[in-house]
Structure 1
Amino acid sequence: MASNLMRATQYSKYGGGVADLKVVEVPVPTPGKDEVLIKVEAASINPIDWRLQSGYARPFLPRKFPHVPGIDAAGEIVQVGSEVKSFKAGDKVVTALGNGGALAEFAVAKEASTVSRPPEVSAAEAAALPIAGLAAHQSLTQNAGLKLDGTDPKINLLVTAASGGVGTYVVQLAKLANAHVTATCGARNLDLIKSLGADEVIDYKTTNGKVAKSPSGRKYDTVIHCTTSTPWSTFQDSLTPNAKVVDTTPGLGIMMSIALKKLTFSKQQISTVFTAPKKENLEFLVKLVKEGKLKPVIDSKYPLSNVGEAWAKSSDGHATGKIIVEP
């Protein structure tokens, strides 16, 4: 590389918000023996990024300041560590960064959490996949116990906030699992969510804060709950006796609900998702995109110099799909 400096986004403390985001010049990181150095072509912002900045996991994450945020990254490998076997310089990849660092011109990633990106999958599409796609995949397969090969009996599934980053993937993956999908979203996204495969779409503003039974009168066997604005208890009358509710935005309220369900010995199950970036699952999602079976929905793209605008739009909570930042 001509220079050992790069542009990177940093913030210096908890709770600083957009005002504390700065694009600065810092040294290009050096990969460890089991790591690769990636020239970032695209990164995406997830709610966990600005929640960490707000102090969501204080004092454990971020571990130190200043911090370069961002978990999802796609790009080209420019250097590999001494023990890396799967990749070489010039390989196109997508990765989930355990300690952040994606909102920069270069990022270091573990070989174990990095997968190849075929030419059929653009950098922006790949960067939109890791956290949101893996959360959707884990919700359906590990938490709800569904198979994504269509061999399960048809179930009735509700996904809330279906036009968000996780929700858009849940809709599409649930159809691969042979589910009848009812989805809630804002009026402006009804047609989009229908085009992704939802069988029934409900404008959430017409429900008066409730999530009633589907328009066809079905009760839900599974709910993938992707919003914090509606408590899961509003689904209670619309659930089957053995229903599974999976919350992708866990907080204190859902933890108390889980404990209460256990105390009452209900057959209905509530669980939460703490996304684990498993390499084989990310490879599976990339393969689906390559084959045209999964479509990353991209809300907007921003240059790194305008990362504050991208951050603000994400934290506002009304993006349709994923927000991409391109160095």
Structure 2
Amino acid sequence: MAKNLMRAVQYSKYNGGAADLKHAEVPIPSPKKDEVLIKVEAASINPIDWKIQEGVARPFLPRKFPHIPGTDVAGEIVQVGSGVQSFKVGEKVVAVLGNGGALAEYAVAKEGSTVPRPPEVSAPEAAALPIAGLAAHQSLTQLAGLKLDGTGPQVNVLVTAASGGVGQYAVQLLKLANAHITATCGARNMDLVRSLGADEVLDYKTPDGVALKSPSGRKYDVIIHCAQNIPWSTFSANLTPKGKVVDTTPGFGTLMSVAAKKIKCSKKQLIPLFTSPKKENLDFLVKLVQAGKLRPIIDSKHPLSKAENAWAKSIEGHATGKILVEP
């Protein structure tokens, strides 16, 4: 391989799936004035990555083909842009990439979307954090209005798909928020979800799991919805009069439901989440991992040479925690 080239995985059209991921040698990117170049040690796959490939954001994303996907990376800075003040070559970091690029040996990230990675936090743990961790954090704090320092009143919260990428973090953060947590997941993950802090765990395939009924009969002040295809009527039946549902993976149906409910008199809310790569939020999560208060759950690790296997596993939708790719 030439010195200025790197290995990368990319796709050249919409709707190709894992089979359309191609391995290539491409030029190592150069950081702009406000960017850093990271030697990637680990990257994670999020559902939004393959949904972009399916065309959910067309024609805006990808900005051009061929496209190197992925937004979550952890690694070491090997070059800094001329205007970068916060980082130096050799520092370990975790970053959210604005335009993809994670499935490669090197990636560029904005200084404002990059945070330090302390020695206590491994590259796989850090790479598992950004999008999923930020989605959980922002759902709880910004949309549900919960305090993660335990000073708020106790609330009853349901987390659906609690063993998935976002759900695992939501359960753990809720424990910091003095919440009573009910969670749904598959039967094989019930013990794991209990170990993360859930007070009640439902097998989502059982009648009570389908109905989202708390075993203790509680109504929910907040539902953090990380699954798919649950009707509003099921949520509404289990909410308190002013309860909120935060949909972490909103689609067209969610947006239509939000519009429809604004016409009605109910004070129950359905709120779509659009995750923002806020540096202070990511730094907060990294420090929780460093302190042993947050534990990223890793489903599997795949070499970059087999990235298509990781991609296919994410599309299947049954991962326990995060799926990683390592160069």
Q: 2:223 aligns to what SS in structure 1? A: strand
Q: 1:118 aligns to what SS in structure 2? A: coil
| CA positional deviation for 1:208 | 6.9
Matches within 5 A, 1:20-59: 20-59=20-59
1:285-327 deviation digits (Å, cap 9, x = unpaired): 0000000000000000000000000000000000000001000
Residue number in structure 1 paired with 2:84? 84
Once residues 207 and 190 of structure 1 are traced to their aligned partners in structure 2, the CA distance between those partners, rounded to angstroms, is 16
Once residues 169 and 211 of structure 2 are traced to their aligned partners in structure 1, the CA distance between those partners, rounded to angstroms, is 20
| CA positional deviation for 1:175 | 0.9
| CA positional deviation for 1:261 | 1.6
Q: How high is the TM-score relative to the length of structure 2?
A: 0.98
Q: 2:23 aligns to what SS in structure 1? A: strand
What is the percentage of aligned positions where both structures have the same residue? 75
* 2:316 partner amino acid: D
1:209–1:230 Cα contact (<8 Å) kept: no
Residue number in structure 2 paired with 1:281? 281
Matches within 5 A, 1:252-263: 252-263=252-263
Q: Tell me how large the CA RMSD over aligned residues is.
A: 1.2
| CA positional deviation for 1:36 | 0.2
Unpaired segments of 5 or more residues in structure 2?
none
1:251-300 deviation digits (Å, cap 9, x = unpaired): 11111211122111321111011100000000000000000000000000
Kindly indicate whether residue 178 of structure 2 is the aligned counterpart of residue 178 of structure 1: yes
Residue number in structure 2 paired with 1:152? 152
* 2:5 partner amino acid: L
Once residues 115 and 212 of structure 1 are traced to their aligned partners in structure 2, the CA distance between those partners, rounded to angstroms, is 37
Once residues 233 and 116 of structure 1 are traced to their aligned partners in structure 2, the CA distance between those partners, rounded to angstroms, is 44
Once residues 208 and 313 of structure 1 are traced to their aligned partners in structure 2, the CA distance between those partners, rounded to angstroms, is 28
Unpaired segments of 5 or more residues in structure 1?
none
* 2:41 partner amino acid: E
Residue number in structure 1 paired with 2:249? 249
Across the two proteins, how many residue pairs are aligned to each other? 327
Residue number in structure 1 paired with 2:223? 223
* 2:39 partner amino acid: K
Once residues 207 and 253 of structure 1 are traced to their aligned partners in structure 2, the CA distance between those partners, rounded to angstroms, is 24
2:45–2:72 Cα contact (<8 Å) kept: yes
Q: 1:163 aligns to what SS in structure 2? A: coil
Once residues 208 and 13 of structure 1 are traced to their aligned partners in structure 2, the CA distance between those partners, rounded to angstroms, is 42
Residue number in structure 2 paired with 1:295? 295
* 1:140 partner amino acid: L
Q: How high is the TM-score relative to the length of structure 1?
A: 0.98
Once residues 299 and 93 of structure 1 are traced to their aligned partners in structure 2, the CA distance between those partners, rounded to angstroms, is 22
Residue number in structure 2 paired with 1:164? 164
